[in-house]
Amino acid sequence: MRIIVSGGGTGGHIYPAMALIKRLKERDLIEDVLYVGTEKGLESKIVKNAGIDFKTIEIRGFKRKLTVENVKVVELFLSSIRKSKKIIKDFKPDIVVGTGGYVSSAIVYAAHVSHIPTVIHEQNTIAGVTNKFLAHFVDKIAIAFPDVVDQFSEKKKLVFAGNPRAQEVVDIKKNDRLKEFNLEANKPTVMIFGGSRGAKPINLATIEAMDKFLTADYQILFVTGRVHYDNVVKKIDSKYLKSANISVLPYIDNMPEILPDLNLIVGRSGATSIAEITALGIPAVFIPSPYVTHDHQTKNALSVSNVGAAKLIPESDLTAESLFEEIDGIMRDESLQKKMSVESKKIGVPDAADRLIKVLLDLVNK
């Protein structure tokens, strides 16, 4: 299969695309693959580092207000479609897949008008603007949350696939990696993590709760994010940094490898995080970012917390007390942990990449 994949802007669009490509390669289903993104986008670094062929187009998203700048955006979109048509003509794909972000709009639309089979993947409970636009033209719309169904009028195109990222973590086994962070390998562990860049409100609440975590019957792996690490360390008393019960790190490379060693995860509720957590059935406390488009992280978190697989703390309610009470209440109740794990696994989709691949194969072989 010759495939073009496009998605950018955030890791939430890029990592599912990369997981799909990885699984296609594992199943020896790729003859050739090309990733289309923007030169300045996060995808440029991630895709190039993975050794995948990468081509760029210049495109920007619309401003929400009517401005002169939007005229330039339209011009760029039309220009990017012309370049995308040339990319398609040269590469000759069997199928084109878009995983979101405005960069995927041009290449997927160009594939449509070039009569190439097309699929988009929507990771969140709130459909993105790009995917809503492309939904009118593509052959199939793969979704990761049932909640998003009503946001697409093209119901016959919808297929539930889950998030391909989930399949990358499901086969990872428990290991002794906690020892790398000066923690005990077999002691119940909570990871508090605000994303790769960290989250200041989560960090501040965790710092203020340190005294209570110091004497807990479980250990804390506190990942601050690289941007915040130095400031966090300055604010933490040295006794906490020296504690055998608390480990403070800026970031963890190959984060998925450590997930099976965790009893509870506390952090943001991006689609990729939820896919990984539910695939492994790990209890969670979600603190959604209120700054994302359409507050979709809150909707994502609700879809998991409403079935009892996670707890939710709105950022406006986040304090050292609310954070500790939620964590401590779960960690002191093994039956609750088991119940949350069971419910989490029920909504997890550990074969998500294979489900999405089936959609692709059905279209290519149609």
Is residue 78 predicted with pLDDT exceeding 90? no
Split at pLDDT 50, 70, 90, the class of 7 is: very high
Environment class of residue 254 by beta-carbon count within 10 Å: exposed (0-12), middle (13-18) or buried (19+)?
A: exposed
Q: Which pLDDT does position 68 carry in this prediction? A: 52
Among residues 162, 147, 170, 184, which one has the least CA distance to residue 299?
147
Query: CA–CA separation, 132 vs 126, rounded Å?
Result: 10
Neighbours of 212 (CB within 10 A): 15
Using one digit for the tens of pLDDT, what is the confidence trace for 100-129?
Answer: 998 999 999 999 999 999 999 999 999 998
C-alpha closest to that of 164 among 15, 320, 322: 15
CA torsion 160-164-166-171 (nearest 10°) is: 120
pLDDT digits over 274-328, tens only?
Answer: 999 999 999 999 999 998 878 899 999 999 999 999 999 999 999 999 999 999 9
Q: CA–CA separation, 170 vs 27, rounded Å?
A: 17
Domains and CATH numbers, the chain: 2-168+350-364 (3.40.50.2000), 177-347 (3.40.50.2000)
Average pLDDT over residues 240-248: 90
How many angstroms separate the CA atoms of 24 and 30, rounded?
6
What is the Cα–Cα distance from 142 to 128, expressed in whole angstroms?
13
Do residues 337 and 310 touch, judged by C-beta distance below 8 A? no
pLDDT at residue 195, rounded to an integer: 80
Percent of the chain with pLDDT over 90: 80
Residues in the chain: 366
CA–CA gap between residue 83 and residue 141 (Å, rounded): 24
- As a whole number of angstroms, the distance between CA 345 and CA 284 comes to 12
Q: Is the pLDDT of residue 223 over 60?
A: yes
Torsion of CA 286, 290, 7, 310, to 10 degrees: 10
- Percent pLDDT > 70 in the chain is 96
User: pLDDT-based confidence at 173, cuts 50/70/90?
Assistant: confident
Task: Collapse the DSSP code of 5 into the 3-class scheme (helix H, G, I; strand E, B; otherwise coil) and give the result.
Answer: strand
Query: Looking at the predicted structure, is the pLDDT value of residue 62 above 80?
Result: no
Look at the alpha carbons of 20, 23, 29, 31 in this order and tell me if their dihedral is positive or negative. Answer: positive
- Average pLDDT score over the chain: 93
Residue type, 274: I
Q: Specify the pLDDT at position 71.
A: 54
Q: How far apart are CA 130 and CA 286, in angstroms?
A: 26
**Which residues participate in the annotated binding site for UDP-N-acetyl-alpha-D-glucosamine?**
10-12, 124, 196, 252, 297
- Please work out, in degrees rounded to the nearest 5, the angle formed at the alpha carbon of residue 306 by the alpha carbons of 210 and 8: 80
Predicted TM-score of the model (pTM): 0.89
**Rounded average pLDDT over 67-96:** 84
- pLDDT level of residue 181 (50, 70, 90 thresholds): very high
pLDDT value at 70 more than 60: no
In this prediction, residue 253 has a pLDDT band, given cuts at 50, 70 and 90, of confident
DSSP labels, 114-171 = TT--EEEEE-SSS--HHHHHHTTT-SEEEES-GGGGGG-S-GGGEEE---THHHHHTT
Kindly tell me if the per-residue pLDDT of 196 is higher than 80. Answer: no
Q: CA 97, CA 135: separation in Å to the nearest integer?
A: 12
The yes-or-no verdict on residue 241 having pLDDT over 90 is: no
Partners of 192 in the β-ladder: 222, 266
How far apart are the C-alpha atoms of 12 and 99, rounded to whole Å?
A: 9
Looking at residue 240, what is its pLDDT? 84
Burial 169-203 (b: 16+ CB within 10 A, else e): bbebeeeebbeebebeeeebbbbbbbbeebbebbb
Do β-strands 310-312 and 284-286 pair in parallel, antiparallel, or remain unpaired? parallel
Q: Is the pLDDT of residue 198 over 90?
A: no
Residue 239 is predicted with a pLDDT of 86
What pLDDT, in 10s, does the model give residues 9-60?
A: 888 899 999 999 999 999 999 999 999 999 888 898 999 999 999 999 987 6
Annotation: binding site: 10-12, 124, 196, 252, 297
Give all strands of the β-sheet with 189-193 in edge-to-edge order.
246-249, 219-223, 189-193, 264-267, 284-286, 310-312
